[in-house]
Amino acid sequence: MNSRWHCFTASLVLLTAVTLAFATADETGGWRLAEESSPYLQMHAGNPVEWFPWGTAAFEKARRENKPLFISIGYFTCHWCHVMARESFINPEIAALLNRNFVSIKIDREQRPDLDAAYMKYVVATRGQGGWPMSVWATPDGYPFVGGTYFPPEDAGGRRGLKQMLQQISELWNTDTDGVRATAERAVVMLRRLGSSAEPLKQLTSDTLETARRMIAGQYDELQGGFSPAPKFPQPARLLFLLQDDDKAGVDMALFTLDRMAAGGINDQLGGGFHRYSTDFEWRVPHFEKMLYDQALIARAYLVAARLTGTDRYADTARHMLDFTLAQMQSPQGGFYSALSADSPAGSGSGEHMQEGAYYTWTQAQLEAALDERLLRDWASARYGIKEHGNAISDPLGELAGRNVLYVARDLNALAQLFDTDLLTARLRMAAVDARLLAARQQRPAVPVDDKVVTAWNGYLITTLAQAGHQLNQPRYLEAAARAADFILTSLYDDKTGRLYRDWRAGVRGVPGFSDDYAALAEGLLMLHRVTGDKRWLLPAQRLVDTQLQLFRDDKAGGFYRTPRDSGLWIREKEAVDGATVAANGVSVHVLLELARATGNDDYRDRARQTAAWAGAQLVAAPDSMAYTLIRWPELLQRPVPVAGTEDGDEK
């Protein structure tokens, strides 16, 4: 099934107006979500579905009324999440089925990655693949027994309709409640068994690096770069590993991939910033949302490439990304917002007609309106591959028909040759074209913003900004990193308890933080300490790591769980695989090694070895999946792995 259909990452379609008034006792529908901090949840507050946020109230109602749970998981920029909402969750007939027979829970996966990961494990185990929107039916205790992703409202195109699913599941629950509960309990037992840790490696060896290199090389696209067919994801963890590895062939793969990405439509050629991924193998036609973590991690790869090669184009791309992020994603308080949507108002700007890529793509008529001189239009068309009837022919669902995505079809040298002019004239001409196109684009209705501040993603960016400020000699990046760090420590950190929060929005803290929040923020603070020498960043970094060790560490096998010991969830996950972001355990290896270097305390280094030994054992057949961990692997080979669970960290 097409990845855009499942919305592995996607864009926003705004719903009808949502009331945010406080609820009264006789209100129906999703009013409870109006009081939540998540903008994704708030967008569903006007639904006729009687949504609950995840929490005690939903579970108590389900137990009291003996109803199964319907759990819907998505996020603000998920295009198909909002399609399903528009088709089904504002549908009175479907809402009535949900309200009568189920207790419905809406979850923002970015705010609650623990819940998302737990239910995704079930969906993938039972369906073979997952994605968002995610739809799961569970017992009143939260144990899943049916799951899937997007459901159309009615049976269509070989896909089961949500209305039919609701009717059948309700009948099944009413006629065989005990059987359904037993099935769910067996599923949880199976998932817990699958999630149990393998015995940690007793010794770390360079064989792990060699295996990872071979696997990455085997997946490499020699024609267009990257490590998969379409859809193509940037995979910054792999790029960072290859760029910092000793293998020259791997460095070449990474550099070529960065070149192709920078030239593609996945890179916003006018405004800066990278879109989520490319739907085609040439990096040309993206899904248009812009995520904060992508800006942070991809820009970091370009910085490493610039340092490695001394080539200006990599530094320029990093600069373009970071300048976009500072201009478009920074809150007035100093933290950084989560994402910009892919969908925005088309035409009148009333918000009634939302279209993916409307802000970023161009019709021939729009091009002519922006560039009234034929010569400038010819330059733009030659530079960016613009076609009269559109160039987005690889768009899998045809949503971009007749539209153009800007990508670098010709570099400046080729343009100068094509138009028989010198390179300076070509550069000035293109600057004039870009300025006019950007000015015209800025007159379009604005792209919606997910304005929650996520701690982990801010941590990624703080690390990158600090590195960029030092490497590029740009004080504004260091200042932005410090300001963001101060904001997180002031607004999302409880200095009395040492506890960190996951997210913040409009002055309100969200949920308690997860292990990736502690690790990523600590990494950012340690990078600030390293490049500035300012010791004020070291103590809070150490406190974060010590709290992470206390709350999240697996004392028996090493490594870190996503959730603390008192989470109460039916499964407790440990993340080793890098995905759209970098795995919490990989970041923790970096942080523990940096803290050992900064403090001289070898206990942190021992914990890093134990974490790597745990991750290496889980991914012994696929070490390429933990590329961020492998960046520091050579440092870990120098001593044996201490046995986890020993109080002093000494090897038994």
Residue among 631, 587, 328, 308 nearest 471 (CA): 308
Which among 127, 161, 194 is the end of a domain? Answer: 194
Could you tell me the sign of the dihedral formed by the alpha carbons of 312, 313, 315, 316, in that order?
positive
For residues 141-157, give the mean pLDDT.
95
- Could you tell me the strand order of the sheet in which 449-450 lies? 290-291, 339-340, 449-450
Residue 313, H or E segment = helix 312-328
Residue 193 has pLDDT above 60, yes or no: yes
Q: Is residue 316 part of a domain?
A: no
Q: Is residue 627 part of a domain?
A: no
Q: How far is CA 499 from CA 8, 306, 495, 517, 608, in A?
A: 31, 37, 7, 11, 22
Which among 393, 415, 443 is the end of a domain? Answer: 443
Amino acid, single-letter form, for residue 577: V
Helix (H, G, I), strand (E, B) or coil at 179: helix
Q: Is residue 509 part of a domain?
A: no
Q: Is residue 580 part of a domain?
A: no
Report how many domains make up the chain: 2
Residue 10 has pLDDT above 80, yes or no: no
Query: What's the pLDDT tens digit per position in 601-625?
Result: 999 999 999 999 999 999 999 999 9
Residue 147, H or E segment = strand 144-148
- DSSP letter at 641 equals P
Q: Is residue 450 part of a domain?
A: no
Q: What pLDDT band is residue 196 in, cutting at 50, 70 and 90?
A: confident
Which among 419, 443, 467 is the end of a domain? Answer: 443
What is the CATH classification number for the domain harbouring 24? Answer: 3.40.30.10
Containing structural domain, residue 26: 3-194
For residues 313-340, give the mean pLDDT.
98
The phi and psi torsions of 419 (rounded to 5 degrees) equal -100, 10
Give DSSP secondary structure letters for 578-623: --SS--HHHHHHHHHHHHHHHH--HHHHHHHHHHHHHHHHHTTT-G
Query: What's the pLDDT tens digit per position in 580-595?
Result: 899 999 999 999 999 9
Q: Is residue 398 part of a domain?
A: yes
Residue 19 has pLDDT above 60, yes or no: no
Q: Which of 651 and 239 is assigned the larger pLDDT?
A: 239
Amino acid, single-letter form, for residue 2: N
User: 253-264: b or e for each residue (b if 16 or more CB lie within 10 Å)?
Assistant: bbbbbbbbbbbb
Query: What's the pLDDT tens digit per position in 422-454?
Result: 999 999 999 999 999 999 999 999 999 999 999
Query: What's the pLDDT tens digit per position in 549-572?
Result: 999 999 999 999 999 987 788 999
* Model confidence pTM above 0.85: yes
Q: Is residue 41 part of a domain?
A: yes
What mean pLDDT value characterizes the chain?
A: 92
For residues 538-558, give the mean pLDDT.
97
For residues 405-425, give the mean pLDDT.
96
Q: Is residue 182 part of a domain?
A: yes
Q: How many residues does the chain have?
A: 652
**How confident is the model at residue 567, as a pLDDT?**
79
